[in-house]
Chains A and B, each alone.
Chain A
Amino acid sequence: MSTGLNDNEIISKVLSGDKQAYAGLVNRYQNYVFTLALRFTKNREDAEEVAQDIFIKAYRSLADFRGASKFSTWLYTIVNNTCITFLRKKKLPMDSLDREGVFEAADSQESALRANLVEQKSRVAMVNNAINLLNPDDAEVITLFYKSEQSLEEIARILGLETNAVKVRLHRARTRLKEKMQHHFSEEVKDL
Chain B
Amino acid sequence: MNTNYTNIPSGDEGLNGDMEERLWNYIDGSCDAGEKSVIDKLLENKAAWKLKYHELLEINEMLQSSGLEEPSLRFTKNVMEEIAKLHIAPATKTYINKKIIWGIAIFFITLIIGFMIYGFGQIDWTATSDSKLPVDFSKVDYSKIFNNTYVNAFMMINVVLGLFLLDRYFANKRKKFREDT
A contact residues vs B (CB 8 Å cutoff): 14-15, 19-20, 22-23, 26-27, 30-32, 34-35, 38, 44, 47-48, 51-52, 55-56, 59-64, 66, 68-69, 73-74, 77, 123-124, 126-128, 131, 142, 146-147, 152, 157-158, 164, 167, 170-171, 174-175, 177-178, 181
Contacts and interface: CB of A to CB of B under 8 A. Distances in A.
| Listed residue (B21, B66, B87) with the most chain A CB atoms within 10 angstroms of its CB | B66
A171 B59 CA distance: 12
B71 A34 contact: yes
11 contacts: A14-B88, A15-B88, A23-B80, A30-B75, A48-B75, A51-B75, A123-B62, A128-B69, A146-B66, A158-B181, A171-B21
Interface residues of B, number: 40
6 cross-chain pairs, A with B, having the tightest CB-CB distances, nearest first: A127-B66, A31-B68, A63-B91, A34-B71, A35-B69, A146-B63
A122 B118 CA distance: 83
A73 B181 contact: yes
B83 A59 contact: yes
B92 A26 contact: no
Nearest to A48: B71
Given A55-B79, A167-B1, A68 B86 contact: no
Interface in B139-181: 178-181
Given A20-B80, A171-B21, A61 B181 contact: no
Given A26-B79, A31-B68, A52-B78, A178 B59 contact: yes
B33 interface: no
B75 A61 contact: no
Contact of B88 (A48, A63, A170, A171): A63
Contacts of B75: 26, 30, 34, 48, 51-52
Given A26-B75, A69-B181, A175-B20, A19 B68 contact: no
A32 B68 contact: yes
Interface string B8-25: 000000000100110011
| Listed residue (B63, B82, B92) with the most chain A CB atoms within 10 angstroms of its CB | B63
Nearest to A22: B83
Contacts of B78: 52
B30 interface: yes
Contacts of A164: 1
